[in-house]
Each structure stands twice: as structure tokens, then as C-alpha cells.
């Protein structure tokens, strides 16, 4: 199954702003009505009715053009989107799907010597950069994942982002990275050959 895709953040903000006009309302139940009263007998009017998302898309298209599909969502982001929508079934399904996608991959589980590269798009805190981790044998028969190198200048890492997926003695060192960054950002190399190419 293809991963869910992230909508443009400007479109999401417009939609959430419109949904927030009625505090505490269930977003799926809200509709927006635009009415033009017409002069003359009978009190006629022209009107448009639609969802907040529909109105947000019309506004977004007028300002910026048709919204792009955007990049795929990580498993954690899919679960968080479902949680915000109060969709517990969708939240659990996203987490289960992420776990299944990892554990049924033909190259799974990770092995000592695997290289794991994660690519981060440019964002509010930094330019685009990458990190490369090495899977090694841990001290207690599990696996560790050590940061080998990264491309982010030290001056651009005030939050200590670099190396945040380093783990020691973990039964599944890829799980957190797979869920949080997302498989679409990962490239995994085994014995000099890519076994998972998330950017493909």
C-alpha cells in the first residue's frame, strides 16, 4: 500500500482555521454556506455550500494554484493525523501498517554491517541534510545503530537533531527511525547493495 501523502501546510492551516470557527465542533460535521441575497420580490438568493476543506481548496487554488500532493507521510505522522481527526481506528491501523511494512520487508531484520542513510528535507530549523548510521552487534546480543557521519553544519544544529536515532542494544534498531522519519526517507545498504531505497 502506498503511504499517505502530506497536504501542503498552507492548505492544512486554511482548513483548520475554517473548522475552528466553531470551537469544539466535529470537523466532519461542519459545512460552510456563502449566500448572496438578491433584491426583488420573494427574497431569492444565490448560495454555495460545501465543506471547510472544499472552501480551503478553492481559496488555496485562487492564491497559489492547484495544491500539490506533497511528500509521503511517515507512519507516526499518519497516526497523528488520524488522532487529530479523532479516528482511533485509523490511528491504530497506521501504526500496525507501519510495523507490518517494516517486519515483512524482504531484507528485514537489520544485520551488523548494514548502512542506514536518512534524508531530511529543508525545514524551519535547517537546510536539507542527511545522516548515515552503521548497524553493529550490541553488547547483550541485540543490535546498536551508531552515527557515522552527517552533512549538517554544527552551527545549524541548535536542537541537537543530529544522531537522534542512535541506539544501543536494541532488539529492533530501525523501528523508531522507520516510524518517525518514514521509509520514504531511508536508504538501507547491505553488502554494498541497496536493499531498501525509499526515495525510489
Structure confidence by residue, pLDDT tens digits, 122-143:
765 567 788 999 999 987 789 9
Burial (0-12, 13-18, 19+ Cβ within 10 Å), 193: exposed
State yes or no: cis peptide before 91, omega within 30 of 0: no
The CA-to-CA distance between both ends of the chain, in Å, stands at 15
Question: Measured between alpha carbons, how far is 118 from 132 in angstroms, rounded to an integer?
Answer: 6
With CA atoms as reference, report the closest residue to 78 among 56, 103, 66, 96.
Answer: 96
Residue 2 pLDDT exceeds 50: no
Question: Measured between alpha carbons, how far is 99 from 115 in angstroms, rounded to an integer?
Answer: 20
Q: Supply 127's cell numbers.
A: 537546510
Burial (0-12, 13-18, 19+ Cβ within 10 Å), 93: middle
How confident is the prediction for the chain on average, in pLDDT? 81
Q: Determine how β-strand 143-150 pairs with β-strand 129-137.
A: antiparallel
Q: Which pLDDT band, with edges at 50, 70 and 90, does 69 fall under? A: low
Per residue in 24-65, pLDDT (tens digit) is 888 778 888 888 888 777 767 888 888 888 888 888 777 766
Residues 113, 192 contacting (CB under 8 angstroms): no
pLDDT of 199 reads: 64
Residue 1 pLDDT exceeds 50: no
Distances (CA, A) of 189 to 26, 58, 103, 172, 192: 45, 44, 17, 17, 6
What are the domain boundaries of the chain? 9-64, 107-197
Question: Measured between alpha carbons, how far is 200 from 187 in angstroms, rounded to an integer?
Answer: 9
pLDDT of 190 reads: 92
pTM of the model: 0.60
Q: Supply 2's cell numbers.
A: 502506498
- Which carries the bigger pLDDT value, residue 114 or residue 36? 114
Amino acid at each position: 500500500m502506498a503511504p499517505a501523502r502530506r497536504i501542503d501546510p498552507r492548505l492544512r492551516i486554511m482548513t483548520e482555521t475554517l473548522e475552528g470557527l466553531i470551537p469544539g465542533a466535529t470537523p466532519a460535521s461542519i459545512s460552510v454556506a456563502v449566500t448572496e441575497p438578491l433584491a426583488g420580490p420573494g427574497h431569492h438568493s444565490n448560495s454555495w455550500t460545501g465543506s471547510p476543506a472544499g472552501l480551503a481548496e478553492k481559496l488555496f487554488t485562487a492564491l497559489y494554484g492547484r495544491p500539490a500532493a506533497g511528500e509521503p507521510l511517515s507512519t507516526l505522522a499518519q497516526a497523528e493525523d488520524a488522532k487529530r481527526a479523532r479516528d482511533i481506528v485509523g490511528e491504530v491501523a497506521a501504526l500496525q501498517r507501519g510495523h507490518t511494512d517494516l517486519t515483512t520487508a524482504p531484507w528485514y531484520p537489520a544485520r551488523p554491517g548494514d548502512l542506514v542513510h536518512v534524508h531530511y528535507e529543508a525545514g524551519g530549523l535547517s537546510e536539507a541534510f542527511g545522516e548515515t548510521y552503521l548497524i553493529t552487534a550490541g553488547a547483550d546480543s541485540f543490535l546498536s545503530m551508531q552515527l557515522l557521519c552527517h552533512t549538517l553544519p554544527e552551527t545549524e544544529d541548535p536542537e541537537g537533531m543530529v544522531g537522534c536515532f542512535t541506539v544501543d542494544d536494541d532488539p529492533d534498531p530501525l523501528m523508531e527511525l522507520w516510524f518517525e522519519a518514514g521509509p520514504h526517507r531511508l536508504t538501507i545498504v547491505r553488502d554494498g547493495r541497496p536493499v531498501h531505497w525509499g526515495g525510489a
